[in-house]
Structures are given as C-alpha cells and as structure tokens.
Amino acid sequence: MVGGDCYITTATCQEHGKSDNCYELTMFRSFRDTWLRKQPDGEQLIKRYYATAPALVELINKQPNRRAIYRHLNEAYLSKCLRYIEDGENVKCKELYVDMVEFLYGEQQKWQI
C-alpha cells in the first residue's frame, strides 16, 4: 500500500488536532514509500506493522490515559524520527520507529490485563 495507513502516527497526530495531510504524516508516508520500501527488510517491517498497528491503536484508544500515551509516543519517538527524516538519517528513524513499536508490544500486555 502506498499513501495512507500510518496508524500510530496518524492517531498521534489526530490526538494533537492535526489533519491527515499534515506535515508530519506527509513526511512519514514519504519516508515509508520512497526509502523504507527499498530496504532489504522494508517490506517485511511494513507488513508486520500493518498486521499489528491497528489493534495497538484501538487498544491505546481504550486507555483512560490515552492522551498521555500519545504525548509520550510523540515526544519519545515520533518527533525524533521526524528530525531524523529531515536530516536524512533514515536508518536512525527506522531503528527508533521499530523501538517504538516494540515498546507498544510490551505495553499491550499491561493494557490487556
């Protein structure tokens, strides 16, 4: 898929009142479609993300502290990833985004209890 479906980033941007075509989402989608897809593990990472991210976002949205969760994701991961993209440090962005998703997998266990 090319275009939309940046689930976690979209949900974070929406929580901050940003539109679907905001600067951040445009940059992340471009990163995914023009750089990540071309990496040896890119398609695998994208497929795994699409298989799991919608459920993660749904679970976050059910949490009473969802605003704090999205704020943490933005501050600890997404804003840094965006700077990496802007600076052409795509490998660092990929690594940090993978770390964010792994963090959310761990948190998911707590939220489902």
Torsion-angle region of 17 (φ positive above 0: left; ψ -120 to 50: alpha; else: beta) = left
Give the mean pLDDT of 38-45.
96
pLDDT number for residue 56 = 92
Q: What is the pLDDT of residues 46-55, one digit of tens each?
A: 999 999 999 9
Distance CA 71, CA 81 (A): 14
Q: What is the pTM of this model?
A: 0.89
pLDDT tens track for 69-103: 999 999 999 999 999 999 999 999 999 999 999 99
* Cβ contact 96:85 at 8 Å: no
Hey, where are the domains in the chain? 7-111
Per-residue pLDDT, 1: 37
The per-residue b/e assignment along 7-23, b for 16 or more CB within 10 angstroms, e otherwise, is bbbbbbbebeeeeeebe
- What does the DSSP 8-state code read for residue 98? H
